[in-house]
Amino acid sequence: MAGDWKPDVLGEPFEQLTLDLGVEDDTGPLVATLVRSIPNPVTSWAKPLRDVDVLYVHGWSDFFFQVELARFWNGLGARFHALDLRRYGRSLRAGQVPGFIDSLDEYDADIEAALTAMGHGADAPPSRRLVLLGHSTGGLVLTLWADRHRGRASALVLNSPWLELQLGAIARQAIAPLVNARARLDPRGTQPAVDLGFYTRAQAEVGALPLPIDEPDWRPERGFATRPAWLAAILDGHRRVASRVDVGCPALVLLSARSTPPIAWDEEMTSSDSVLVVDEIARSATRIGALVTVGRIDGAIHDVFLSRPKPRAAVYAVLERWMTGCLVPRHPSSPHPW
């Protein structure tokens, strides 16, 4: 660990903790950042998720800023934590390539550091239950982590997880050899821009952009530049999901009801997913575990929790109903982690 809990840029009640990952790149030590919002124990003791800790992981070109999401979990009695991964958001340092990674497994160090700070280290007694919550790329990261660490989490919630390439499995298999060759030769090379800013515009039109935070590098309008090694890591993650994984706990996958191709601006992007092909993701979700629920939300955008009020309310209603049914107060004699 590095340092102590201190006030976060989101203001009260949020605090942040810098996590020393014990590794360096050519810019210096790498860090991750854990943000927390803890409910009042006096008012949460009777809530249905009073013995639950949540760990949220953001998507590509993103960081944690979803205040309403934290309040939702706190309202059910859960302790909410969010992780800004290495080279993202609060963890991004001068000279670093934003979001760069050449293996998704490297995020194990970030996640383990966060869980240790939360009291859920690998050797810690399971006194509280753990819910993993991942958005987009973060959903892919947590799915693969849960598969490699079965039994650690009691539930997995995925918000439009990037479980398959937008072009589909056949195209992914076709381009993977070329991507892997480029990743070996020029891992941090430049690639054509793929984000034309339509998703950012859609968020602006529905009023969902982050709170005023004077850090434009944390969430650029057209996303981070992609790199060959990063893309190879993503495709490898998709390959593993396609080959089937087992997250070892009940999973809820939340998606928009439909997608809009990000070719040219369309007003439909304010009520659909303009980043992923949701039908492909729904199919891939059947490959992540034995008990998977897929919720399709009409009118939702890519981050379903940032949609317009009506679909956003529907998302929270589905999540609360699923969570309170899945994680009922645990009986001491129960043989199951959920």
pLDDT digits (tens, 9 = 90+) for 167-200: 888 999 999 999 999 999 999 998 887 888 999 9
* Strands in 216-267 per DSSP E: 251-256
Q: What is the pLDDT of residue 332?
A: 44
User: Can you read off the two tokens belonging to residue 126?
Assistant: 């399971």
Q: Give the pTM.
A: 0.94
**Measured between alpha carbons, how far is residue 12 from residues 16, 37, 93, 140 in Å?**
11, 8, 24, 30
SS3 of 255, please? strand
Domain boundaries, position 210: 2-326
Burial of 194-212, coded b for 16+ CB within 10 Å and e otherwise, reads ebbebbbebbeebebebee
| Residue 322 falls inside a structural domain | yes
Number of Cβ atoms within 10 Å of the Cβ of 36: 22
**ω before 335 within 30° of 0 (cis)?**
no
Handedness of CA 242, 287, 249, 60 (dihedral sign): positive
Q: Is residue 336 one of the residues assigned to a domain?
A: no
pLDDT tens digits, residue range 280-330? 999 999 999 999 999 999 999 999 999 999 999 999 999 999 999 887 655
Establish if 334 belongs to a structural domain.
no
In contact, 104 and 237? CB cutoff 8 Å: yes
pLDDT in tens, 77-101: 999 999 999 999 999 999 999 999 9
* 136: in domain: yes
The CATH number of residue 167's host domain is 3.40.50.1820
In a domain, 337, yes or no: no
Answer yes or no: is 269 within a domain.
Answer: yes
Domain count, the chain: 1
